[in-house]
Amino acid sequence: MRLAILFSGQGGQRPEHWQQLAREADGELRAALVARLPSLADPAFVPDADFLAANAVAQPLIVAQQLALWSALRERLPRPICAAGYSLGELSACAAAGVMTPAAAVALAGERAHLMDEVATGGMLAVLGLDEALVAGIAAAHGLAIAIRNAPRHVVLAGPAAGLAPVAAALSETGASRLVPLAVRTPSHTPLLASAAEGFRQRLAGLPERRLAFPVLSAIDATSARTVSVAVDALARQICTPLDWAACLEAVVELQPDAVLEIGPGSALAKLFAELAPAIPVRASDDFRSIDGIVRWLDSCA
């Protein structure tokens, strides 16, 4: 069976993901997560949406949730033909492919969040239904830029928080079919985070060179990384570089998978892929109540 894996980014995390990890995470992964999020060790603590949206919480939490799922699934699935990660999800994709251990990835997610928060605050806005060049022009007038290209007429803007409301009003008047503020508090994938990208590159330095267990597609341009050095270069650059997620999904389609599984909070990536390639079965891990359910679905696709 030809299986492709997608790792989701920030925005879909909910209290139940926190609670699942609080109950089930163990070993080195739990230790790395509790070191970043001590509240996880308190069974009485119930996080709210604002708490979960903070980078310092969201990034290590999501990476831990994704890699805990991957660890439970890995031995029961065929080796993937590729993996790709949306923004933060690329860190999990790299860890799944063997760039670093899951515990190291959780620690690095915390470092990534700290570096980003230290440099710039801001926000992100998904824009649907308008020509990309038109959106780019309106965004620039308000100090924002296109950070992610999800599909034709579906982009994500990023920039200072003060520009989000004015640009949303202007885009609404221009005829945007949908505007969705994202639960992200930094201007990700813009040059405003150049120093954070360089800082993260330094944190990644020294990882031993090896061949990956499977290729990881860069969210920047769908370049296939097969070694650690290529993967970590893309992992650092994407913090301050626009992502072409549409190209990444097109590259997955060209590899002719029999099924695609999104791992992580939410199902946004599965929905995007289904719109692009309706003939290829795709589901998100959040669609299922158990690991067994995921495995049974994939078996049915073989």
- Percent of the chain beyond pLDDT 70? 100
* 27 and 67 inside one domain: yes
Same domain, 199 and 106: yes
Tally the domains of the chain.
Answer: 2
Domain that holds residue 137: 123-181
pLDDT at 130: 98
Reported as a pLDDT band with limits 50, 70 and 90, residue 302 is confident
- Same domain for 85 and 208? yes
> Mean pLDDT score of the chain, rounded to an integer?
96
pLDDT score recorded for residue 92: 98
Measured at the CA of 222, the angle between CA 296 and CA 73, to 5 degrees, comes to 25
What DSSP character marks residue 231? H
Q: What is the mean pLDDT of residues 277-301?
A: 97
CATH of residue 14's domain is 3.40.366.10
Residues 106 and 208 in one domain: yes
Whether residues 102 and 221 fall in one domain = yes
Res. 137: pLDDT tops 90: yes
Residue 197 in any domain: the answer is yes
Q: What is the per-residue pLDDT for 153?
A: 96
Report pLDDT for 39.
95
pLDDT digit string (tens) for 170-198?
999 999 999 999 988 899 999 999 999 99
Query: Measured between alpha carbons, how far is 103 from 135 in angstroms, rounded to an integer?
Result: 39
Residues 110 and 228 in one domain: yes
Kindly tell me the sign of the dihedral angle through the C-alpha atoms of 266, 268, 269, 273: positive
Q: Which of 137, 161, 181 is the last residue of a domain?
A: 181
Q: Is the pLDDT of residue 223 over 90?
A: yes
pLDDT for 159 equals: 97
User: Are residue 50 and residue 167 in the same domain, yes or no?
Assistant: no
For residue range 254-264, what is the model confidence (pLDDT) as tens digits?
999 999 999 99
Q: What are all long-range contacts of 160-164, with beta carbons under 8 Å and residues at least 24 apart?
A: 160/120, 160/121, 160/122, 160/123, 160/187, 160/192, 161/121, 161/122, 161/123, 161/185, 164/122, 164/123, 164/125
Question: Is 90 exceeded by the pLDDT of residue 236?
Answer: yes
Domain end (from 145, 162, 181) = 181
pLDDT for 85 equals 98
Half-sphere exposure of 203 (CA within 13 A, CB side): 23
Q: How confident is the model at residue 11 (pLDDT cuts 50, 70, 90)?
A: confident
The last residue of a domain, from among 181, 213, 231: 181
Residue 234 confidence class, pLDDT cut points 50, 70, 90: very high
208 shares a domain with 176: no
- The rounded percent of the chain whose pLDDT value lies above 90 is 96
* Calpha distance 179→165 (Å, rounded): 11
Residue 90 inside a domain? The answer is yes
For residue 57, is it within any domain?
yes
Domain-embedded: residue 229 = yes
- 173 and 203 co-located in one domain: no
CB proximity list for 134: less than 8 A, separation 6 or greater: 174
pLDDT (average), residues 21-31: 94
Do 114 and 141 lie in one domain? The reply is no
* CATH number (domain holding residue 131): 3.30.70.250
Q: What pLDDT, on the 0 to 100 scale, is given for residue 266?
A: 93
Residue 209 included in any domain:
yes
Question: Is pLDDT above 90 for 59?
Answer: yes
Which pLDDT score, from 0 to 100, does residue 237 have? 98
pLDDT band at 120 (very low <50, low <70, confident <90, very high): confident
Q: Is residue 198 included in any domain, yes or no?
A: yes
Q: pLDDT for 69-112, tens place per residue?
A: 999 999 999 999 999 999 999 999 999 999 999 999 999 999 99
- Assigned domain for 186 exists: no
Residue 176 belongs to some domain of the structure: yes
Q: Please answer whether residues 243 and 147 qualify as being in contact, where contact means their C-beta atoms are separated by less than 8 angstroms.
A: yes
Q: 203 and 68 in one domain? A: yes
Q: Are residue 208 and residue 264 in the same domain, yes or no?
A: yes
